[in-house]
Structure 1
């Protein structure tokens, strides 16, 4: 696979230049003892409005082990938890995040375009948006305040979830300086933090390096340039890196394989697999990825992943760390596979319909058609394909939005 990937990645690697040499993580990298985590991507954007308090609380109630979120810098120097550089995709407003204050962002309806099973949908006149207006009290959701449907700040999330691990991705508005500005704001906020359950990532390597200078005690994942260099040439990863957060596929080629995961583990790094358009967010794909022995999956459908874990009897993180499953031991032989052709599992994993996890009640607005975990596709039958989350980072070589 590495040979095949050279054609699609070498240009990016040469354009980015070389990665600063680093050192291997500590032999007792704690993230290698947290297998296997359900790291709800944006709180599970296919199942709840992305990056909202409602989504994060729901994901935790379902059993998610870690929350994944994105931060953008605001006009008043705060860090808003929102994916895009504009508010257009997820809220009822338009404009650049950097032009709004944090208070203005909190007041927006971040559930305005949400359609269950499809994330945000703008171009389907028949789509139902059952949580539209929840921010203003027009829709009531038991156990939740209207503010749970606005754009939160990072501080809001960290205060609400003091004991829940959080993965924070530094975003920008398309320029290197925008990433650096967000990294400096985040580094200043976390410089004195004593939390040991945070990981900071970004596509932008320079932003990660700057963050690490300001908050060296906080773990980081590899940036895009560093990850590609490691993948192609075994180049050392920068100081502070404890994990490789990688797409399932890159330019149509399979990245997350047992061989790659084994190599990363041998080198002392955890592997966190993200989907976001790089592979279907469905039970079958989740089951395949679990079998590669990754340390975490970042699903848009955390309830489906919970069902897959239950069906497979997957070991979950426990206090003090979780050793790898016996079949994931590095001395266990692996069958050679062609990463360009994903292997077919014996039988697809079909989870049963989810039971009520005791989380937030459904809104009083009319409910859309069910998209239970038995679905084998990302999109409910008869509905248009869910559009990928728009990547506005200004990194054209990124395989998909994360």
Structure 2
């Protein structure tokens, strides 16, 4: 019996060793995408979450213009589809929270949606013509050089295709990072156009984090170019020094969301994070400038 157990242990160890060797031989470097080369090289990037929803009506042209004016490096936005399938920039699946209307975004045509007041809950901007913009309008309103993170909120192949089509039409393949909480959306984007940058989905972050814990990040091939993660997930810390270092070792951009407290910003910057996703880009610009790299 002891001999059988010994042989079983040898077989298991050999198999595990073979698996590690196989991973080491097949692990590939992460490509250097132009999106990340365009970011500041002397400090962490400030990514205006929904355009800076703590300062302006979120996901509006007014917010995006304001975020750029105060020094944000990247505009982050969310996309849903209208009744006719037009990608529009809004976070929720309904219009209730951010406009003076009610109902699901997909129940409105673009024309109907843009009759709503997207600044209804901002007294100083109410009834001043602030609307829910289409993604086309956002691309038309800003030069191609403006970096954007576009999160596709729905698991809808037609919407994903429409977003990719717009990125291609406006020749923004080098300045747009597409993201989603839906793994199938990320996979569709990567299949549609290999030139597009994506972040890692949850199912891709977990094995990378596990590899980092064992100082084995070199054995893992990240399928995307960025990690956009919360500081912690429940009781589990995510943005640790080890994970940040592992990402840097593999050439993966590491940004943390959604951070609005200046002290927390400074702590994360001290760990080496490369981006702060925030509703308060004004505070983040100051913190990132002070911290440098």
TM-score by length of 2: 0.81
Alignment equivalent of 2:207, drawn from 223, 229, 244: 229
1:274–1:24 distance in 2 versus 1, CA, 3 Å = same
Give the Cα separation in 2 of the matches to 1:25 and 1:230. 13
CA contact (8 A) 1:32 1:295 kept: no
- Structure 2 segments unaligned to the other structure (5+ residues): 1-25, 212-216
Q: Secondary structure at the match of 2:156?
A: helix
Q: Secondary structure at the match of 1:42?
A: helix
CA contact (8 A) 1:186 1:211 kept: no
1:49–1:30 distance in 2 versus 1, CA, 3 Å = closer
Give the Cα separation in 1 of the matches to 2:226 and 2:250. 10
Task: Report how far residue 230 of structure 1 moved.
Answer: 1.9
Task: Report how far residue 133 of structure 1 moved.
Answer: 2.1
Residue of structure 2 in register with 1:130 after alignment: 124
1:29–1:153 distance in 2 versus 1, CA, 3 Å = closer
1:198–1:236 distance in 2 versus 1, CA, 3 Å = same
Residue of structure 2 in register with 1:259 after alignment: 242
Structure number with higher helix proportion: 2
The list of structure 1 runs, each at least 4 consecutive aligned residues, that deviate by more than 4 angstroms after superposition, is 27-30
- Structure 1 segments unaligned to the other structure (5+ residues): 1-20, 115-128, 135-145, 173-177, 315-324, 326-402
TM-score by length of 1: 0.60
1:28–1:222 distance in 2 versus 1, CA, 3 Å = closer
Q: Secondary structure at the match of 2:48?
A: strand
Q: Is structure 2 residue 147 aligned with structure 1 residue 153?
A: no
CA contact (8 A) 2:95 2:102 kept: yes
Alpha-carbon RMSD across the aligned residues, in angstroms, is 2.1
Give the Cα separation in 1 of the matches to 2:86 and 2:27. 31
Residue deviations 1:10-34 (CA, integer Å, cap 9, x gap)? xxxxxxxxxxx99542257762673
Alignment equivalent of 1:164, drawn from 132, 146, 149: 146
Q: Give 1 or 2 for the bigger CA radius of gyration.
A: 2
Residue of structure 2 in register with 1:304 after alignment: 283
CA contact (8 A) 1:45 1:301 kept: yes
